Chain A
Amino acid sequence: MRLAFNDDQQMFNAALDQMLGAEASEFRTVAEWGRWDYGTALDATLTENGFFDAAREETLGPVAAAELVMRIAARPVVVECAASALLLPLLDMDLPRPCAVIDGEARVVRFAPEARSVIWLGDRPRAALLPDSAVTPGETIFAFPVGAIDTGALDWRDLAPDPAMVRARWQVALAAELVGALTGGLESVLTHVRDRQQFGRPLGSFQAVQHRLAADAVQLDSARWMVLRAAQTGGTGDAALALGHAQNAALRMIYDLHQFMGAMGLTLEHPLHRFTYRAKMLRTALGGPSAALRAFADNYWGVS
């Protein structure tokens, strides 16, 4: 049991934070009431500097890759990172990123309009290059670019790794992205309740606010550790538990974050919605918390 990042991972995190702190990843409103802002510049910087290859590096590995996803997802701009950091390195083929993942219906796929490749999960995991012609951008209330993918138009190749392993890795990736989004939301609300004065004192000095945010922090911190553990062990039970626990925590937390941000959080001029609406979509991924947790139960205790 050794729960600290190693020296290489610490250097990796510090370099990453420098990139994430750049102006290109800051919040700015999007024209026409846009709900998401793809971080094109951040995406390019991270790619050029090889950040998405972390899982392939022996001293960094999936732990650093999961941490990468959590930190990127905590920024107001959105960048496709979960599949790039955790799924692509698992494959025996060299696919370009951004990478979309069909893990449910092909008509609403996150990042499809930005992606240059696609992975189709299921009993027979496959991958293909994704030309623009195969994507129809879609409308959504969630803060991600989404689109429909014409699966019949693509040249699919089967993936070599065991489907259960691919799925487990994707569960970790989704959990990491969700924990990141919730972390970004919590940070933004904490800043608000420390500063915002009502009744002559900061909102964050009221126990009614403190106790709920503290309870949320417990859930979030534990979800973060579950992500790191699942990334490190590669266990299918650990992966299911990480996703189910994060998805369960998200519901209550999203409610609290909006409550404490009040009317400001209802505007598109404040970044909170970017985090909470990503979290709302991620908490339903792969069937939501009940599917993930029942899968854990099957895995751990057997089917009946």
Chain B
Amino acid sequence: MEFAWTEQDRTHRARIRALLASALPADWQVIARHGPGSREQTLFSLSFCPQLAEAGLLVPHWPREWGGQGGTVWEHFILGEEMWAAGEPRGPQYMNVNWIGPVLMQFGSEAQKARYLPPMAQGRAIWCQGFSEPGAGSDLGSLRTRADRDGDTYVLNGQKIWTSYAGMAETCFLLVRIGGEKAGKAGIAVFLVPMDSPGIEVRAIPSLIGHGDIHEVFFTDVRVPASARLGEPGQGWTIISAALANERVGIPRYALARQVLDDMVGLLQARAGFADPVVRLRAAEAAAACDAARLLVYAVIDARARGIAAEASTARLAVIAADNAVNDFGMEFLPECYHGDGHPALLAHHERAIVTGIAAGAAEIQLNLVAQRRLALPKGA
């Protein structure tokens, strides 16, 4: 057991930090204020990701065939940690790198791989994830957007909601139910849908989490060729499971939270507000929450590096607690920083923190999974 980084990992991290230091502009915190899905940050990703690609730091963990270097699990993870801590300058493109690309490699046709992977590896592809629907959030298996076969094409009808990045995406990773299939996971398929297809309407939903981040997407008689289907009809759930396995622990949110906590302590120290033992205690508790999350996430990554699929919901819950602990600390002891725009880093973290327990599998779903998988408790009625 060794909790220190290897020389190789330290060098890798230093390279990423050096690149960030030179590539992020002076007003980066303002750009990053509204999160990876905002228009500003998405546009920025189109100039930043090609630089990453140039430096071999966009898809280092991908196989060489698709522009990667066959890097290690830890190298991939360190990259994600540093990017999130920097405010995620890859914008929505982190999805391509982490799971859309790898899932296409696993399930895609040769034509799909040739069409979609190179732009991803060059840092020029914006995707959105068409999963949730008005009637299918946590219960994703009950989704109703449907695809009906008509000769060599499919006709798509239905509605997606809370879709991040849809406003600027070129392609949607869309989950649908094949026409005539019963409710449940078995009838689900994945389509790769160009967002400029006739019949797609995108509407931004004003929200607490950033300008233009979440959307409603309406599909009305949208025609796509059968070749736009990823894998077989009914293979959708297997594909999603593979995607989720790639994203097992989710975003390393504690990395930004821990950094913002240090900023908060700095602000308090500058105004002699850190002498109060209660404030110090609460700061330490928030730091403990970040470290708890970090260690549980590392345990999952370490298992993965050894080829073991570890239960990850425990880590996800700790990440949620960490983001909230830091946000709660700031809002209690530095409330004035949440007015105006003088503290973009705190505001940006706030917007990210309030999403943590909801996006990509609500906290309560994670608690169910921990109860069943980690604690072997009987499934609820």
Interface string of B295-338 (1 = CB under 8 A from A): 11011011100100000001001100100000000000000000
Can you spell out 26 A-B residue pairs with CB atoms less than 8 angstroms apart? Answer: A1-B298, A1-B302, A3-B2, A3-B298, A3-B302, A5-B1, A202-B378, A205-B381, A211-B364, A211-B371, A213-B375, A214-B374, A217-B370, A218-B318, A221-B296, A222-B293, A241-B287, A241-B291, A248-B288, A293-B281, A294-B280, A296-B288, A298-B280, A300-B287, A301-B280, A301-B283
* B285 CB within 8 Å of chain A: yes
CA distance A209 to B377 in the complex (A): 10
Q: How far, in whole Å, are A302 and B318 apart by their CA atoms in the complex?
A: 26
0/1 interface trace, chain B 256-269, chain A, CB 8 Å (1 if under): 00000010010001
Given the interface pairs A222-B296, A232-B1, A304-B272, the reply to whether A294 lies near B318 with Cβ below 8 Å is: no
By a CB distance below 8 angstroms, the chain B residues around A263 are: none
Residues of chain B within 8 A (CB-CB) of A300 are 284, 287
Q: Is the CB of A218 within 8 A of B287?
A: no
A49 surroundings in chain B (CB, below 8 A)? none
Interface hub of B1, B275, B280, B380 (most chain A Cβ within 10 A):
B1
Shortest 3 CB-CB distances between A and B: which pairs?
A: A222-B292, A210-B371, A293-B284
Q: Select which of B5, B269, B370, B380 is within 8 A of A218 by beta carbon.
A: B370
Q: Are the CB atoms of B302 and A205 closer together than 8 Å?
A: no
Report Cα–Cα, A201/B317, bound state, in Å: 27
Question: Does B111 count as interface, using CB distance less than 8 angstroms?
Answer: no
Q: Determine whether the beta carbon of B299 is less than 8 Å from that of A3.
A: yes
Please judge, given known A-B contacts A297-B283, A304-B275, whether A225 and B314 are in contact too, CB under 8 Å.
no
- Residue B28 lies at the interface, judged by CB distance under 8 Å to chain A: no
Residues of chain B with a CB closer than 8 A to A1's CB: 2-6, 9, 74, 298, 301-302
A3-B299, A210-B368, A296-B284 given; A190·B375 CB < 8 A:
yes
CB <8 Å contact, A233 and B3 = yes
A193 and B377 contact, CB distance less than 8 A: yes
Interface centre among B6, B274, B283, B370 (most CB of A within 10 A): B370
- Report the minimal beta-carbon distance from B373 to chain A, rounded to whole angstroms: 10
Within 8 A of B (CB), among A238-255: 241, 244-245, 248
Contacts of B339 in A (CB 8 A): none
Q: Collect the chain A residues with CB atoms within 8 Å of residue B115's CB.
A: none
Complex formed: what's the CA distance from A295 to B275 in Å? 13
Q: Say yes or no: A205 contacts B296, CB within 8 Å.
A: no
Is A221 in contact with B314, judged by CB distance below 8 angstroms?
Answer: yes
Q: How far is the CB of A294 from chain B (nearest CB, A)?
A: 5
Chain A at the B interface: mostly helix, strand, loop or mixed? helix
Separation of A5 and B303 alpha carbons in the complex (Å) = 12
Answer yes or no: B367 CB below 8 A from chain A CBs.
yes
In the assembled complex, B277 has its CB within 8 A of some CB on chain A? yes
Chain A residues near B6 (CB-CB < 8 A): 1
Cβ of B376 within 8 Å of any chain A Cβ, yes or no, is yes
Taking the closest CB of chain B, its distance from the CB of A141, in whole angstroms, is: 27
Residues of A with C-beta under 8 A to B375: 190, 204, 210, 213-214, 217
- How many chain A residues sit at the interface, stated as a range, is 35 or more
Interface size on B, residues (CB 8 A): 52
A31 at the interface (CB under 8 A from B): no
Q: Known contacts A1-B302, A301-B274; is A226 also within 8 Å of B292 by CB?
A: yes
Question: Which residues of the partner chain B approach A33 to less than 8 Å between Cβ atoms?
Answer: none
A residues less than 8 Å from B314 (CB atoms): 217-218, 221
* Interface bits A265-304 vs B (CB < 8 Å: 1, else 0): 0000000000000000000000000100110111011101
Distance between Cα atoms of A245 and B295 in the complex (Å): 13
A3 and B280 contacting across the interface, CB-CB below 8 Å: no
Q: How close is B266's CB to chain A, nearest CB, in angstroms?
A: 9
Q: Pick the contact of B1 from A2, A218, A304 — CB < 8 Å?
A: A2
**Taking the complex as formed, is A6 at the interface, i.e. its CB lies under 8 A from any CB of chain B?**
yes
Minimum Cβ distance to chain B for residue A138 (Å): 31
C-alpha spacing A193/B301, complex, angstroms = 31
Give every chain B residue within 8 A of A9 (Cβ-Cβ): 1
Task: Give Cα A107–Cα B252 distance, bound, in whole angstroms.
Answer: 47
Q: A244-B288, A294-B284 are in contact. Are A217 and B2 (CB under 8 A)?
A: no
**Inter-subunit contact A205/B380 (CB<8 Å):** yes
Which residue of the partner chain, among A5, A222, A296, contacts B318 with CB atoms under 8 Å? A222
A204 lies within 8 A of B378 (CB)? yes
A210 lies within 8 A of B377 (CB): yes
Q: Whole-angstrom distance between the alpha carbons of A183 and B296 in the complex?
A: 17
Q: A1-B4, A214-B367 are in contact. List 9 more A-B contacts (CB 8 A).
A: A2-B2, A2-B302, A3-B298, A193-B377, A201-B378, A221-B374, A222-B292, A248-B288, A300-B287
A257 within 8 A of B: no
With A218-B317, A248-B285: A297-B280 Cβ-Cβ less than 8 Å: yes
Q: Given A194-B376, A214-B375, A226-B291, check contact A297 B367 (CB 8 Å).
A: no
A211 proximity list for chain B (CB < 8 A) = 364, 367-368, 371
- State A298–B287 Cα separation when bound (angstroms): 13
